[in-house]
Amino acid sequence: MEKILEEIGLTPGEARVYLALLELGFSTVSPISQKARVSISKIYSVLEGLIRKGLISSIVKNNVKHFNAADPERIIDFLEEKKKKINEEENEVRKKLPELRSKLARAEKKPIAEVYEGIKGIKTFFEEMLNESKRGEMNYVLGIPREVSVKYEGYFLHDWSKRRIKKKVKTKIIYNFDAKDVGEKRAKLKLTEVRYMPKEIQTPAWINIYQNVVATTYMMGENPFCVVIRNENIAKSNLAYFNFLWKLSKK
């Protein structure tokens, strides 16, 4: 019964005190405290809480305050009052929804940055990217180092690429100049275009661009991570940079 009382909104202390009072009848603070296992320092605030909920009452006899539990039927009244209050709050929230949605729309225009740490975190981002990408859309990848391609191709990138193709999501990839052996294999995949950056440009990280998302991934070293920014203007700026390098890059 104690657990049920907690689930309908009583604190653990309130539940124990109410049940104790049902057994004790009119009682002073000390016996209630002992039976309910609530310290004297906390018992008064617990009793006040139950009085506010209408589940106990108090009287003064011989200058000593006594407390008594309300009939258990009062619990039903308490729940009815809670339901009424929840309904009123729901109606108020519904009235405010247009205003709240307008705030959300304004917030979406601000850059939102997230950091995914470790290989598992990076895999999580890649799964999100695949889930969010739609059939026929283009994903852009800039500056993949050879070391990363060789190390993680079999770990998860190969399987991810197969699922991307199955979903009919296209990609353009600009590899670092020294990753031609890896890029040639990737170029054989469907819905995949590959080029290579000029020899003098080497990047230790790579950038993914899709929809309004730009992700910079660094997987070299012991602490790989991925910084993801969701912002339309930043995505457009990076895409313009990608397209500039795509024209400079060679097949």
Q: CA-CA-CA-CA torsion for 74, 80, 82, 86, nearest 10 degrees?
A: 180
pTM for this structure?
Answer: 0.56
**Chain segment 59-92, per-residue pLDDT in tens:** 988 889 999 999 998 899 888 888 898 899 889 9
**Chain segment 148-195, per-residue pLDDT in tens:** 766 666 667 888 999 999 999 999 999 988 888 888 888 899 999 999
Q: Is 55 helix (H, G, I), strand (E, B) or coil?
A: coil
Angle at 151 between CA 150 and CA 154, to 5 degrees: 85
pLDDT of residue 21: 94
Tell me if 2-74 shares its fold with 112-248.
no
Question: Quick one: pLDDT band at residue 111, thresholds 50, 70, 90?
Answer: low
Q: What's the DSSP call for residue 157?
A: I
| Fold (CATH) for 2-74 | Arc Repressor Mutant, subunit A (1.10.10)
What is the token pair recorded at 123? 């895999």
Q: How many percent of the chain have pLDDT more than 70?
A: 94
The CATH number of 112-248 is 3.30.870.10
**Chain segment 213-222, per-residue pLDDT in tens:** 999 998 877 8
Instruction: Give domain limits for the chain.
Output: 2-74, 112-248
